[in-house]
Amino acid sequence: MTTEKIRELIARMTLEEKASMCSGADFWHTEAIERLGIPASMVSDGPHGLRKQDQEGDHLGVNDSIKAVCFPAGCGTAASFNRELLTSMGATLGNECQAEGISVILGPAVNIKRSPLCGRNFEYYSEDPYVATEMAGALIKGIQSKNVGTSIKHFLANNQETRRQSSESRVDERTLHEIYLAAFEGAIKKQKPWTVMCSYNRINGFYAAQNHKYLTETLRDRWGFDGYVVSDWGAVNNRVEDLKAGLDLEMPTSLGANDKLIVEAVQNGTLEESVVDTAVERILNIIFRYEENRDKNAAWDKDEDHEMARKVAEETIVLLKNDGLLPLNENDDIAFIGKYAEAPRYQGGGSSHINSHKVTSAMDVVSGKSNIVYARGYNDDEDKTDETLLAEAVEAAKKAKVAVIFAGLPDAFESEGFDRTHMSMPNCQNELIEKVAAVQPNTVVVLHNGSPVEMPWIDKVKGVVEAYLGGQAVGGAVCDILFGKVNPSAKLPETFPLKLEDNPSYLFYFGEGDTVEYREGIFVGYRYYDKKKMDVLFPFGYGLSYTTFEYSNLTVDKENLKDTDTLTVSVNITNTGKMAGKEVVQLYVADKESTVIRPVKELRDFAKVDLAPGETKTVTFTLDKRAFAYYNVQIHDWHVETGEFEILIGKSSRDIVLRKTVTVESTVKIPMVYTTDTTVGDVMKDPRAWEIVKPLFANGMFGEGSEANVGDAAAEAISEEMMEAMLKYMPLRGPVSFHGGVSMADVQKYVDQLNALDS
């Protein structure tokens, strides 16, 4: 429907009807106005699967939803580093939505993994904003290719579950733009999701739902978002002020209470009716975009989509350790140990919980193979060692050639609604791994978890396979990896620290009361660990393969460029092993010398390349200004400092194999703002400025006869280096204290001349 026709509809609405359109009709539907031909529109949870409920539904996954297909969670799909794969997965989800009459699926979730403790980390993609926004964009592209909307969430700085409906995230401007906004920015600008979901929390004093700075000034005015903003379920705190800020749709229904407040505000003059009209127009735009592109013949085959889920899962499994044991020979005597071999933990709890139409476990895959035995090993309803189960597992491991332990985090350890308090797996599972590894040197651990865990047993096992929360087909995917039918190709989208205390947010994560300070600033994840030169368990971007890759011939199309230019980077990748495989090529950029504090390097692009044995392919990247820029709070924009930058090609953040230096020239000059507190050293950086203020220091640093003023003994103790340092760090007002012939008024005249240099 055209904008003109939508506006005609709005003109025919009563004020009460307009207000009703700004909140849900029930838990999952927008309001219908039958007399004007406006239908109700249904939305549904589902970052990684369709959780369609009836109108008596809930937002925490307590009640049943329709049978559907559970794909790998965001923690896993991000590990694929495969945009095309996520677009295909998105198209499958979009088709399911069309078949079920869903106009908007509530996802993807892109919040940064600030800490391993966040209860919803399993839904989120990465500690790195570029990975988060690229993978989210790929999923959005796929879903919306089927004319179904997405709702990228949770906007903004929503990084914990503790006090999530009242906490305040205090984040500085640069950190917000470089880390937390950046996770949304690329996906919104490039893929244009139909909706954005605002979070519960406050950001620097204002609730997300009431934050005009981000809902309007950033989201719409700067990024060009043209859909509607919907509240997280129950995130509305002040309906009228929220509407003014840019929150269009409140979900779920307030049963008319907030609609009445909107009407009253218009009638008493505290709310312009045009604000309501704009919100309704945005909502109707999306409703009719779906209705006019509704595929009423759409159908979905759950078994076919299950196989798609398996294909996705195969690329989300990260091989973390392999001492030559993997892949296994499926004809060897093998013990599968652990409850998750039979009943895998394949998804998280809460609003994303899918009522899976079937689940394939590892034991389902090997069923009928007499050479593979099973021992339960543990229960996960409580963290308590069952001595009988433990003994059975140890005995099974002794008799086998290889033991594969399926372990991880139970639902009680990570879910929406609460945060973890530690990074440990259940003690009973750690004990099981220790006891089995003590009797069976050929032990492999398969992990089912949505966030990093500590691994006290890492040196005692020969293999570790990170399966993350791999969806309902995870058992088949894991077996494909274990037995070498699929070559592992995933990489970690997050750092696994050695221990929780190493995490940069450790001291401040839960905050004090409702206040959470992001004191680590831009140093999230590998940005922190690399800057600190800190040992980690597994670095960001890390993952092994059953084949080997060689990188060569790194080239750039120019070695000198302006920040308005683009840089083309090419590198050759060769599969030097005997098995076909996929490699994730990672491009980082390092500012070699900066006047601002920056990370050692930052991921600026990546590509996944599929190679047959002996095959070579050239991977090409294009970098623009943002690849070299930091967010400058003086100009409130992205800025590149003139200087040298290294282009780094790596297999992980800690394994850089090729590098090349380029020089970037800034086309934006940021004028220096001088004050009486500006140091002499800072003035000297500009020869013109130094010439202006030289007269202030013409008679020596402290004025004429300064050595005599401090005494002979003191004068002898003052070295030339000390004098230079004292001058360098002396503020321009210094001569007032040390030379009676200079007043503050005199100094201010010099300061005024300095500030006029570039005016």
232 catalytic residue (yes or no): yes
Angle, CA of 676, 680 and 682, to the nearest 5°:
95
740 three-class SS: coil
- Concatenating the DSSP letter of every residue in 686-706 gives SHHHHHHHGGGGTT-TTSTTH
For residue 306, what are the CA distances in angstroms to 49, 70, 302, 382, 436? Answer: 11, 8, 6, 31, 33
Name the region of 417 (left: φ>0; alpha: ψ -120 to 50; beta: rest). left
β-pair type (202-203, 549-556): unpaired
**Sign of dihedral through CA atoms 674, 676, 680, 681?**
negative
E strands in 388-484:
402-408, 443-448, 463-466
Angle, CA of 696, 700 and 701, to the nearest 5°:
75
Q: Helices (DSSP H) in 467-525: which residue ranges?
A: 474-482
β-pair type (372-375, 334-337): parallel
Q: Terminus-to-terminus CA distance in the chain, angstroms?
A: 51
How would you write 72-141 as a 3-class SS string? CCHHHHHHHCCHHHHHHHHHHHHHHHHHHCCCEEECCECCCCCCCCCCCCCCCCCCCHHHHHHHHHHHHH
What is the number of alpha carbons within 13 Å of residue 514 lying toward its C-beta? 13
Token pair 């939508």 is found at 6
Q: Report the DSSP beta bridge partners of residue 632.
A: 637
What is the number of alpha carbons within 13 Å of residue 238 lying toward its C-beta? 12
Token pair 């005016």 is found at 759
442 three-class SS: coil
**Sign of dihedral through CA atoms 283, 284, 289, 293?**
positive
For residue 709, what are its two tokens? Answer: 């003023």
How many C-beta neighbours within 10 Å does residue 238 have?
A: 15
Burial 84-102 (b: 16+ CB within 10 A, else e): ebbbbbbbbbbbbbbbbeb
Distance CA 102, CA 94 (A): 9
β-pair type (515-517, 560-562): unpaired
Distance CA 712, CA 716 (A): 6
| Spatial contact of 25 and 40, defined as CB atoms under 8 Å apart | yes
Catalytic residue among 26, 54, 64, 232, which? 232
365 three-class SS: helix
H or E element in which residue 154 lies: strand 149-155
State which amino acid sits at residue 693.
Answer: V
Burial 620-636 (b: 16+ CB within 10 A, else e): ebebebbbbbbbbeeee
For residue 520, what are its two tokens? Answer: 């680590």
Distance CA 423, CA 219 (A): 35
Distance CA 559, CA 389 (A): 63
Q: Indicate which residues carry an active-site annotation.
A: 232
